[in-house]
A and B are shown apart, each in its own frame.
Chain A
């Protein structure tokens, strides 16, 4: 069974460019999460979706960040324009939520973003 699939695995771009990160959650999961990991701040939740609907985007740092989930099998995280401080590893995770809480999370391998 395929796990969470993220692309690209590595992205190097110049300041001001648009970056799009992609995620395919585990089939049958109904919740999807975008996290960012840095040495200084650890893992931080950016946004999460339930049944393709954004539930909480309070972790999105600025208007330069946006996320979409057009269907149950695909999500994107876009940064426009990118800045050097956006350099981090971005993780996507998915879970099957029944009732309360957010279920057991399964993570992708991450997208390592470097903005020069």
Chain B
């Protein structure tokens, strides 16, 4: 059974810092990995989707990498801004639907 872990559970950084969020999964037989952002009281917004054949995806200040063999993914956020404050969730898709981590709650302090 796939298990997804995100560490740390919470992170606070000053504005302008580059930061990395981590995601690990136990079963490397995946089709894809998806990173989401969730603001309080809101739904999940898809940030990046990495297919199992890809190593990374980029969108603006965000870069996500995937290492299937080690069961890891990272989300890199460059030049963080207060508007980046949210919970970031990693989800792994295999033959069954997405399995989610518990998320990392990010606070970017102005």
A102: interface (CB < 8 Å): yes
Bound together, the chains give a CA A56 to CA B103 distance in angstroms of: 24
- B52-96 to A contact mask, C-beta < 8 Å, 1/0: 000000000000000000000000000000000000010101111
Bound together, the chains give a CA A43 to CA B44 distance in angstroms of: 11
Instruction: State whether B98 touches A42 (Cβ < 8 A).
Output: no
Bound together, the chains give a CA A111 to CA B98 distance in angstroms of: 20
Contact of A45 among B42, B46, B98, B103 (CB under 8 A): B98
Residues of A with C-beta under 8 A to B49: 104
Q: B22 to chain A: closest CB distance in Å?
A: 16
Bound together, the chains give a CA A55 to CA B94 distance in angstroms of: 14
Question: Which residues of B are at the interface with A, using a C-beta cutoff of 8 A?
Answer: 31-32, 34, 36, 41-46, 49, 89, 91, 93-103
Bound together, the chains give a CA A102 to CA B93 distance in angstroms of: 7
Interface residues of A in 6-27 (CB under 8 A from B): none
Residues of A with C-beta under 8 A to B41: 112
Instruction: State whether A101 touches B32 (Cβ < 8 A).
Output: yes
- A38-71 to B contact mask, C-beta < 8 Å, 1/0: 0000110100100000001000000000000000
22 contacts between A and B (CB under 8 A): A33-B97, A42-B100, A42-B103, A43-B89, A45-B96, A45-B99, A91-B43, A100-B31, A101-B32, A101-B94, A102-B31, A102-B93, A102-B97, A102-B98, A104-B32, A105-B97, A106-B46, A107-B45, A108-B43, A109-B43, A110-B42, A110-B43
Instruction: State whether A91 touches B31 (Cβ < 8 A).
Output: no
Residues of A with C-beta under 8 A to B43: 4, 91, 107-110
Residues of B with C-beta under 8 A to A109: 42-43
Q: Which residue of A lies closest to B42 (CB)?
A: A109
Bound together, the chains give a CA A91 to CA B42 distance in angstroms of: 10
